[in-house]
Structures are given as structure tokens and as C-alpha cells.
Amino acid sequence: MHPAPGICPVCGDVLTITRLHCQSCQTAIEGSFYTNRLSQLNPEQLQFVEIFLQCEGKIKAVEEKLGISYPTVRSRLNDVRVAMGFEMTPEDEAADPMLDERTRRQVLDDLSAGRITMAEAEARLRGEY
């Protein structure tokens, strides 16, 4: 069996399940059934959620398991939230550790000029300052 898609490939809207079938007794039920929010995720987002749960929501553990940075984990988590229909509040967006290009460049300039250490640069790039 294949997983049921949750999003329409034509228009991008949420799909509705209209028929359920039991393979054991051949019972069929027709109607209009809703899907859960997880069904709205693409395969990559679903895999990220599974890893996130496996790591008990510990971002550091997700970083290590996937070999990605803290800002990338946060970005993927925000992508999942949006895909599941949760609105991003201004506070969420302000707390997003993704640095703008100018700030990132400043951190790298400070590092190469010796004004900050490598550890300080890494912390700043992760949004931990």
C-alpha cells in the first residue's frame, strides 16, 4: 500500500478522504472524512518530524543526527509548523535564529579580524548570544 496524499497535487488544497475499505472483511464506508495535520506534510517533513520525536524534541540531538546546524533545525521545524496550518506569530518570527546576511557577514568579519573567538562566532551564528 502507498501512503495517502494529504495535499492535492493539482491545486495544493487539503484532500478529503471519501471512501474507507477494510481488506479483511471487505466492508466499505463512504462519506467525507478529514485527515489529520500530519497528512499535510511532504515525505521530507514527515521524516524530520519522526527524527524530532525520536530525539524527544532536543534540537541539539536533531542537529547531531541529521548533521545540520541549529538554524537549519529551527527553519525546518518552522516549515513543518506552517505546513500543518499553524500560523507563525510575530514572536515566532522574531525568535527565529536564522540570521540575515548582513549579520552573518559581520560575525565572519569579526572572526577573521580576531575580535571574537571561533566559539563565539559559532554561538552567534546559532543565535545563542
| Percent over 90 (pLDDT), the chain | 28
If you average pLDDT over every residue of the chain, what do you get?
Answer: 84
How far apart are the C-alpha atoms of 61 and 52, rounded to whole Å? 8
Beta carbons within 10 angstroms of residue 6's beta carbon: 19
Residues in contact with 13: Cβ distance below 8 Å, sequence separation at least 6, in sequence order: 7
* Model pTM above 0.95: no
CA distances to 31, 59, 88, 90, 116 from 94, in Å: 43, 18, 10, 6, 25
Is 109 contained in some domain?
A: yes
Is 116 contained in some domain?
A: yes
pLDDT digits (tens, 9 = 90+) for 40-81: 888 899 999 999 999 999 989 999 999 888 888 888 888 899
In the structure grid, which three cell numbers stand for residue 17, read together?
Answer: 478522504
Q: Give the range of the structural domain holding residue 106, as residue numbers without chain letter.
A: 99-129
Is 106 contained in some domain?
A: yes
Q: Please count the structural domains in the chain.
A: 1
